Amino acid sequence: MAKEDGDAAERSPYLSHAIAGAFRDATERRLFQMVTSSPVPQHLAIIMDGNRRFARGNGLLIHDGHVQGKEKLEELLNWCLEVGVRVLTVYALSTENLGRPPEELDPLMELFAESFRRIAVDERVHKNRIQVRAFGNLALLPEFVREAIATAENATSSYRDYHYNVAIAYGGREEIVRAIRHLASEVRAGRLEPEAIGPETVSKEMYTADLPDPDLIFRTSGEERISNFLLWQSAYAELYFADVLWPGLTKVDFLRALRAFQDRQRRYGG
């Protein structure tokens, strides 16, 4: 009897793990059915926050956290295709992040370049006709990263079924300043009357000029701010904050964010 009790004790962690896995799978199936039975966000924007904290919390090198964050982004792209999100914009690197130490930034740049080169030949991208673009102050990036970006953009430039945008060396205020400078130059040159400048005029100067504004901005890590991301475009976006670090995001977390969006009654102007 004692031996049987010991065997049961040894099996219990595995049994508990199996039960938890079955519950998670059932939850995922239920959420997926609910999400796909209602309209999903046309444009989903994600602030991928928490790679470094995830690494520190799991005894990993910072670069390992970034690698796992990149792998999570690969999963996210699949999830968006499954539910029918047509436009995905991810915040990969802010202009402020460029001030990080070279020992972190240099391997990260290599990771970006590798990711853009890989997505240029990704079967999912060409099968689903996904246009890949990067936006931000790309001149601040190393030449080899810019070359990798150009490879991905050129390989997908004719696609319009889905859009995958990577905000890199990006800042929302800088984007607005860039727009103001261009409009000011147009006024000075006599090609534009100041009175003709309105919200639509400014929107056409944004990096996302040919895309709908984001319906949902989703941030991981538990932080509740948008950190200079799509400031102009987010005027009427719904916001969702998840208390999970980016590499630890699960499909259930993703589906819950979409379901929360679907449960809201969107209002414009108040």
Residues tagged active-site: 49, 97
Question: Cβ neighbours of residue 51 under 8 Å, at least 6 residues apart?
Answer: 62, 65, 66, 68, 69, 245, 246, 247
Name the phi and psi angles at 8, rounded to 5: -65, -40
CB atoms within 10 A of CB 142: 14
Q: Which residue, 135, 117, 124, is CA-closest to 161?
A: 124
Distance (Å, rounded) from C-alpha 230 to C-alpha 227? 9
